[in-house]
């Protein structure tokens, strides 16, 4: 519950910041009219619309500070997170080999990778949905004198208008497709009751992840033990043994010239 309360506070704070950032558009927007016939100087009352004028710097500033810069910043963050997760996984594998630990890709790393994949999909959807909108605004300012301005602007306006409505619905669809936990939470919210996780996609994916990790760890252990090269310095000239227990006792015996010997030729090792 503490985590949910914290998330609710963060969302509320983000809404307040978004409202403050959007308030200049409400303050500086005005009712404008189109001339009819075009360029006649006679404003048609039926053409009234509310918008910012092209001369307002808010159009360029909003595109720069609320689209292009955040897109670059988010891209840098996700690249950094991906590199960090990759380096963490490599370090864990290296430590497992050096210390003889059973290692594998843990559930935590898999969960982080799934979250990053989902966030990357959300960011791509955000860019696709809002890029035409900002391009149309900038084109309206800087492309006004082009011969095909009205045709291009009309197509951009229609595409941008459709996509920024799609942006309001695409996020829940992505969450539902990519997250079993989200699907379960959505069902619980929709039906106003707790749903058993047994037999659900979330429980199944969790079992598959756990079994996959155990299988990888076990096969990895046997593979490393089989191919390990052991080179210990012995003061005496007698053979030595290495004992490892996984599901059953496995004993490897070597003579002083590193030749394997039958296990029965040696007495049990005194660990004291």
Between helix 180-191 and helix 149-178 the angle, nearest 10°, is 90
pLDDT of 132:
92
Higher pLDDT residue, 255 or 193?
193
Q: Please indicate whether residue 250 or residue 39 has the higher confidence score (pLDDT).
A: 39
In percent, the amount of the chain with pLDDT more than 90 equals: 10
Mean pLDDT over 66-71 rounds to: 89
Q: How far apart are CA 217 and CA 207, in angstroms?
A: 15
Instruction: Check whether 79 has a pLDDT greater than 50.
Output: yes
Q: What is the pLDDT at residue 13? A: 94
For 2-61, write each residue's pLDDT tens digit. 667 888 899 999 999 989 988 887 777 778 787 777 777 787 778 787 777 666 677 888
Hey, where are the domains in the chain? Answer: 27-56, 57-228, 232-272
Phi, psi of 241 (to 5 degrees): -130, 150
State the pLDDT at residue 45: 79
DSSP string, 69-112: HHHHHHHHHHHHHHHHHHHHHHHHHHHHHHHT------HHHHHH
Per-residue pLDDT, 162: 92
Bridge partners for 260 per DSSP:
254
- The pair of structure tokens assigned to 200 is 């659900």
Return the beta strands (E) in the chain as ranges: 30-35, 43-51, 240-245, 249-254
Long-range contacts of 241-245 (CB under 8 A, 24+ apart): 241/266, 241/269, 243/269
pLDDT of residue 185: 85
Instruction: Output the average pLDDT for the chain.
Output: 71
Q: What is the mean pLDDT of residues 196-203?
A: 56
């Amino acid at each position: 519950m503490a985590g949910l309360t914290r998330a609710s506070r963060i969302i509320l704070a983000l809404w307040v910041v978004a409202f403050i950032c959007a308030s200049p558009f409400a303050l500086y927007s005005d009712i404008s009219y189109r001339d009819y016939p075009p360029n006649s100087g006679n404003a048609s009352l039926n053409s009234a619309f509310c918008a910012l004028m092209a001369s307002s710097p808010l159009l360029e500033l909003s595109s720069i500070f609320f689209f292009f810069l955040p897109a670059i910043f988010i891209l840098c963050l996700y690249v950094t997170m991906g590199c960090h997760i990759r380096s963490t996984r490599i370090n864990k594998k290296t430590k497992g080999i050096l210390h003889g630990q059973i290692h594998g890709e843990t559930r935590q790393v898999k969960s982080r990778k799934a979250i990053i994949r989902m966030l990357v999909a959300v960011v791509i959807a955000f860019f696709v949905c809002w890029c035409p909108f900002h391009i149309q605004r900038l084109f309206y300012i800087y492309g006004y004198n082009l011969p095909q301005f009205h045709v291009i602007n009309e197509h951009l306006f229609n595409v941008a208008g459709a996509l920024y409505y799609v942006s309001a619905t695409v996020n829940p669809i992505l969450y539902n497709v990519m997250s079993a936990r989200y699907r379960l939470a959505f069902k619980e919210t929709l039906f106003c009751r707790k749903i058993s996780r047994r037999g659900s996609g979330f429980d199944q994916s969790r079992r598959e992840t756990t079994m996959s990790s155990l299988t990888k760890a076990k096969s990895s252990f046997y593979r490393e033990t089989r191919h390990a090269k052991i080179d210990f310095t012995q003061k005496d000239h007698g053979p030595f043994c290495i004992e490892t227990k996984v599901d059953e006792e496995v004993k490897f015996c070597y003579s002083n010239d590193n030749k394997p010997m039958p296990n029965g030729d040696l007495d049990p090792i005194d660990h004291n």
